[in-house]
Amino acid sequence: MARTELLFLSDTFQWELSTLVSAFDEDENGTYIETNETIFYPGGGGQEPDKGTVADMPGHVVPVIHVLLINHHVRLYYEKDQVEFKPGDPVTISIDKDHRLKNTRLHTGGHLLSSVIYEKLKLPLIPVKGFHYQQGAYVEFEPSEDIPEIAENNINEALKEDVQRQLKITTKIVQGDDLLFKQAFKPAGFVIPEDRPLRLVKIGDYLAYPCGGTHLHHTGELDFLKIRHIKHKKGKIRISYEAG
C-alpha cells in the first residue's frame, strides 16, 4: 500500500481536506482509519500531534482522539462503533486550527531561540533537544565550555528583534547526501528518519535544521517569544520559553 502523503510538510495552514479512506482497522491503540493523504501532524520531533475530526459523506462527524505514524502510514484513531468506514469511502478530515497554530508558534519559537543563542549571541551553548509542547516548552543546551552566566534580558531583546525583522522561514525536502543537509546544523546523534521525508527548516540566514514539524511563514507571525526561566540540570542548561 502506498505511503500516506504528508501534506503538512508543505502547508502548515491547510485546515481541511477531502480525501479517500485507504484503510480501516484496529490495533492495540484502538480503531483507526488511514487516508491517501493527510493534513494531520502525527507527533514526534518535539511537537504534539494534531487534534481534529473526520466526517463521512452522510455528515457524521467523529473526533480524532489520537494520531500515530506507523510504517509510513498516518492512523487517525476514534471511538469504536461511532462510524464504520471502508476503503474508498470519501471523507473530510479537519484539524483544530487553534491547537495547530499554538504548536506551530512554539516549534518556530524553539528553533529561533536555538539560533539566537548559538549563532547570533554566540554563547558557548549547543542545542541538543527541543520540546515544543504547550505545557512546558523548552530547548536544552550542552555547554561547550564552562557554563556561562546567561543574561535573560539580552536573549529576550535578541528574540524580540528577530521577531520584528520578520525573518522568512523556508523548508526543503532533501536527501542525506545533499550539500544543504551536510551544511545544516544537526544535533549530536541525529539519525535520518526512515518513516518520513528528510526536510530542512531554515529561518532567515541562520543555519538550517532537520525538522518534520509545522512552522510559520516568517518570524513576524509570532506575537511574542520570550524566556520563562533557565535551569541547570545534570550538566546541561534547559531554557524554558513561551510563544504566541
DSSP one-letter string for 85-125: --TT-EEEEEE-HHHHHHHHHHHHHHHHHHHIIIIIS--SE
Summarised one tens digit per residue, pLDDT across range 180-217 is 999 999 988 888 888 888 999 999 999 999 999 999 99
| H/E element, 163 | helix 152-164
Domains of the chain: 5-95 (2.40.30.130), 100-243 (3.30.980.10)
CB-based contacts of 10: which residues, under 8 Å, 6+ apart? 171
> Residues of the chain with pLDDT > 70: what percent?
98
* Average pLDDT of the segment spanning 146-169: 88
State the pLDDT confidence band at 88, using cuts at 50, 70 and 90: very high
Distance CA 78, CA 55 (A): 11
* Average pLDDT of the segment spanning 206-229: 96
Of the listed ranges 58-62, 132-136, 170-174, the one predicted with least confidence: 58-62
Look up residue 223 and give its amino acid: D
Distance CA 143, CA 128 (A): 10
pLDDT value of position 119: 95
- The grid coordinates of residue 121 equal 549571541
Distance CA 35, CA 4 (A): 7
Query: If you average pLDDT over every residue of the chain, what do you get?
Result: 93
pLDDT value of position 148: 60
Distance CA 4, CA 198 (A): 15
Summarised one tens digit per residue, pLDDT across range 8-37 is 999 999 999 999 999 999 999 999 999 999
